[in-house]
Amino acid sequence: MADRYLSFTGTAPGRFLTRRLGLPRPAPLRRWSAERPALDGELLHLTAGTSRLDLAPVLARTGLPTDEAAGQPAAVVLDATGVRTVEDLDEVHAALHPVVRSVAESGRIVVLGAPLDTADHHQAAAQQALEGFTRSLGKETGGGRTVNLVRLTDASAAESTLRFLLSPKSAYVSGQVIAVGDGQESPAPEDADRPLTGRTALVTGAARGIGEAVAAALARDGAEVVVLDVPQAEEDARRVAERIGGSVLLLDMTAADAGARIAEALPGGLDVLVHNAGITRDRRLVNMAKDRWSSVLDVNLGSVLRTTDALLEAGALRRDGRIVATASIAGIAGNAGQTNYGASKAGVTGFVRALAPRALAGHGVTVNAVAPGFIETKMTAAVPLFIREAGRRMNSLAQGGLPVDVAETAAWFAHPGSGAVNGQVVRVCGQSLLGA
């Protein structure tokens, strides 16, 4: 379902009317393409407080030229890891106040903060303040610009994250706080353009929608991709597999032996497992029959837990593997008519956060989740018009995301350099006004 409002606001009468009437003015987002893989323009590196991060070499590898006096920077990185007091926060203002107006359209602002696990309550206050700052700035910058906060102690462990956030791949990711651990550095991939070369990925529910886009992004990055979907979706699954040069596995993920069948189909093991299959069966709780409740809980959560457990126990996930689950902002903010869906998707975040440290320690596997907001797919095309319009506009970028936006986030989690990104739930929602 095309977003006609977005097309209209790109025309001269559309620009005039939206300005006069104070209507949302979505900017066309600059997304990744092979022809234009990087942002156009310079990166401005600023600091607030006294930082100990060795950031310059990492920023140099983003491919963006760094310039201390960039007139219209495409990206700004503010290193605020050294902010320890309320007074230090003045330096955040002093650094960004003069430049925020000049950041290019679809530009990126990334604030770097320190981990919050400090006993110093002054430092904790100042560091937590960066979250409110980041999220507020994200809501006011407009023009397709994004603002995110990364908590880190080791710049090199955060390289894949910074590269993602400072690229067109993160077009619909804004207002997020991402914590990157340290000491989990992976060797740089041999082929930087195809970092998943030699790795096998399986994407559930990949015959269409977001799953199809995830499968395509992982294949672009060099992975051998298995397109998994239910037998009824065979035709679509084969079409996707053919397009991306992958293979097909027809399987209902709710089958009790789904994990065993995946392990059997992939005797060489699996490097990337993306739990994307999901369904909705909306009704208010008063009208919700038991089967609507249990089918959603089983597809979206029960099967995710069962197959993950089975695959980890069978040793089917290779070391340095990646599990990416799919949550939703409905699981964070709640949604009328979706008690079943909201419960299942909140459950996914609980699963990710609890399993992540154990999976890393025991199997060398990271576990993260994408939490999509309003994404233009068949699922959201079926939503009634007014609710659909509200979903599209009620975010800082004033438009719906595309499946590729979720796919790029999954590809960043799957990247061999993302070993220090673990237990994160990252919303791909254009900073939806719903939820935290």
Q: Which residues are catalytic?
A: 341
With binding defined as CB under 6 A, does residue 208 bind ligand NAD?
yes
Q: How many chain residues bind ligand NAD (CB under 6 A)?
A: 27
Dihedral (Cα; 262, 266, 271, 274), 10-degree rounding: -30
Report if residue 307 touches ligand NAD, rule: CB under 6 A.
no
Which tokens belong to 10?
A: 């790109």
Residue 209 engages ligand NAD in binding (rule: CB under 6 A)? yes
Using the minimum distance from each CB to ligand NAD, give the nearer residue, 342 or 419.
342
What angle do the packed helices 303-313 and 258-265 form, to 10 degrees? 50
Q: Looking at beta carbons only, is 75 or 210 nearer to ligand NAD?
A: 210
In terms of CB distance, is 176 or 276 closer to ligand NAD? 276
Residue 328 in the binding site for ligand NAD (CB under 6 A): yes
Task: Tell me phi and psi for residue 360, to 5 degrees.
Answer: -70, -45
Would you say the C-alpha torsion 109, 54, 419, 66 has a positive or negative sign? positive
CA dist., res. 20 & res. 26, Å (int): 15
Please provide residue 370's backbone torsions phi and psi, each rounded to the nearest 5 degrees.
-95, 140
Q: Which stretch binds ligand NAD (CB under 6 A): 2-10, 154-162, 372-380, 411-419?
A: 372-380
Residue 210 binds to ligand NAD (criterion: CB under 6 A)? yes
Q: Encoding tokens for residue 256?
A: 């009790």
Report residue 290 as tokens: 């038991």
Q: Determine how β-strand 366-372 pairs with β-strand 317-326.
A: parallel
Could you say which of 38, 100, 279, 333 contacts ligand NAD (CB under 6 A)? Answer: 279
Nearest to 25 by CA among 276, 410, 398: 398
229 binds ligand NAD (CB under 6 A): yes
What is the dihedral angle through the alpha carbons of 232, 429, 396, 376, rounded to the nearest 10 degrees? -10
Query: What is the C-alpha to C-alpha distance for residues 405 and 353, in angstroms, rounded to an integer?
Result: 22
Provide the minimum distance between the beta carbon of 377 and ligand NAD in the complex, in angstroms, as a whole number: 4
* 265 sits near ligand NAD (criterion: CB under 6 A): no
Residue number, 152 or 277, with CB nearest to ligand NAD: 277
Residue 81 or 340: the one with the smaller Cβ distance to ligand NAD is 340
380 binds ligand NAD (CB under 6 A): yes
Q: Which of 219, 241, 299, 316 binds ligand NAD (CB under 6 A)?
A: 299
Pull the structure tokens for residue 225.
Answer: 């991709």
Closest CA to 45 of 100, 122, 110, 106: 110
Stretch that binds ligand NAD, among 89-97, 144-152, 252-260, 417-425 (CB under 6 A): 252-260
Of the candidates 337, 341, 413, 397, which has an alpha carbon nearest to the alpha carbon of residue 26?
A: 397
Q: Is residue 214 close enough to count as binding ligand NAD by CB under 6 A?
A: no
The Cα-based distances of 256 to 64, 264, 340 in angstroms read 49, 14, 21
User: x-or-dash pattern for ligand NAD, window 67-106, by CB under 6 A?
Assistant: ----------------------------------------
Q: What is the largest CA-CA distance in the chain?
A: 62
- Candidate ranges 28-36, 66-74, 75-83, 200-208; the one touching ligand NAD (CB under 6 A): 200-208
The span from the CA of 325 to the CA of 54, in Å, is 32
- Judged by beta carbon, residue 210 or residue 273, the one nearer ligand NAD is 210
Nearer to ligand NAD, 218 or 230 (CB): 230
Told to check if 155 binds ligand NAD by CB under 6 A, we report no
The residues binding ligand NAD (CB under 6 A) are: 204-205, 207-211, 229-230, 233, 252-254, 276-279, 299, 326, 328, 372, 374-375, 377-380
